Amino acid sequence: MTALAAARLGVTVRILADHESGTGRPLAGVTVADWTDPAVLRDWAAGCDAVTVESEWAPADRLLAAVPDVRLRPGVATLTAIRHKGRQKRVLAEAGLPQPDHVLAATRADARDAVARFGQAVLKQFEGSYDGYGNATCRASDEVDAAWDTLAAEDGLLVEAFVPFVAEVAVTVARRPDGEAAVYPVVRSEHRDHRLHAATVPAGLSEATEAEARRVALATVTALDVTGVATVELFLLDEGGVLVNEVAPRPHNTAHLTIDASHTSQFENHVRAVLGWPLGETGLRVPAACMVNVLGDREGTTAPDLSAALAVPGASVHLYGKDSVRPTRKMGHVTVAAETLDLARERAEAAAAAVRL
């Protein structure tokens, strides 16, 4: 989707992938090679005005070592801080940003003490934990050993106090190399089985809470010195406050609805930001919108049938061109804009359920 946005702006895109995939090929030159090989990186990056990443787990440090003068956006320092939860927590703490109580546990004894103090906590791997993977919930200190044996690396685990949140929300920010930024409206997110199911906008917050969520998101992205688009996922508390949960330094699933609901999509603003171009308007151009993810429900190849989904009024179906289906794999999404949020949600759920892969 970033390549599609770039093509609309007349930008030539090269993609370096470490495995074969159907995505991106209609729009960009795709090189499938070992992206840890310095020679591959040098050849691929030659002549690029800027390089960005689709995932914070891409070996950006290797790219910079191979091509020192490349304009990597976001930079290695940003990616290194974000992908290690311990470093990320330290940066946010130094900036005075609100986040859940936590302990960087170097030993299982540290973890036991933290769980005993918090009462209920989530143990997370510093790297690689997402969408329910790489973490475990402990309700008492005697549950720590099993989680530690399964998850702990040499540097231990993050122990984060359980947060009794009332909702999860997300804010996407586009930020240029010079620090100029544009903030999108707050999106309310709903997860099922630890995966994003739906995102809705407006988020239905008070004016003060909306402003606070946007302030915290912008401050978070600034503290981490992100260039490009980043999404800050937040816990919404009962009294209206927010806590930073996760940070993704790239276009994010919760903001896919910006393609159909905003004046400028997150993907276009990502391209603009990494190239240092003026940022586009981030406001809504519709009264309300809902995005629902389309997940695989079987193993096999794709043969999409969209006839029923496209019959739903206002349905905009986006399939990602993945060449195989497997259960729970994100294959696409559906967005519906409507006069009311209830109507947008009803239609988006119906259209997503009607997609046949």
Rounded to an integer, what distance in angstroms lies between the CA atom of residue 66 and that of residue 39? 8
Q: pTM score, two decimals?
A: 0.95
Q: CB under 8 Å to 155, separation ≥6 — which residues?
A: 86, 106, 126
Rounded to an integer, what distance in angstroms lies between the CA atom of residue 320 and that of residue 332? 5
Where are the extended beta strands (E) located within the chain? 14-17, 29-32, 102-105, 121-124, 135-138, 157-161, 167-175, 181-183, 187-192, 195-201, 228-236, 242-248, 288-295, 300-301, 315-319, 324-325, 330-338
Residues in the chain: 357
Q: Is pLDDT at 238 greater than 80 in this prediction?
A: yes
Tell me the CA distances in angstroms from 282 to 120, 229, 255, 266, one per residue in order.
38, 12, 11, 8
pLDDT for 323: 84
The tokens for 92 are 């946010």
For 281-304, the pLDDT digits (tens) are: 999 999 999 999 999 999 988 789
Sign of CA dihedral 159, 162, 163, 169: positive
Q: Output DSSP code: residue 269.
A: H
Least confident of 216-220, 266-270, 319-323: 319-323
At residue 150, the 3 state secondary structure works out as helix
Rounded to an integer, what distance in angstroms lies between the CA atom of residue 232 and that of residue 223? 12
pLDDT for 78: 94
The tokens for 96 are 């005075």
CA torsion, ordered 110, 113, 118, 121, to nearest 10 deg:
50
For 35-71, the pLDDT digits (tens) are: 888 899 888 888 899 999 988 888 778 878 888 878 8
Rounded to an integer, what distance in angstroms lies between the CA atom of residue 136 and that of residue 36? 31
Asked if 47 and 67 touch (Cβ cutoff 8 Å), the reply is no
pLDDT for 243: 99
Strand ordering across the sheet containing 135-138:
102-105, 157-161, 121-124, 135-138
Q: Is pLDDT at 21 greater than 70 in this prediction?
A: no
Count the Cβ atoms, other than its own, within 10 Å of residue 63. 24
The tokens for 43 are 């050849």
Rounded to an integer, what distance in angstroms lies between the CA atom of residue 298 and that of residue 328? 8
Q: Is pLDDT at 140 greater than 70 in this prediction?
A: yes
Rounded to an integer, what distance in angstroms lies between the CA atom of residue 104 and that of residue 160? 9
Q: CB under 8 Å to 166, separation ≥6 — which residues?
A: 236, 237, 238
For 88-111, the pLDDT digits (tens) are: 999 999 999 999 999 999 999 999
Domains along the chain? 2-82 (3.40.50.20), 101-161 (3.30.1490.20), 167-354 (3.30.470.20)
- Percent of the chain at pLDDT above 70? 98
Average model confidence (pLDDT) across the chain: 94
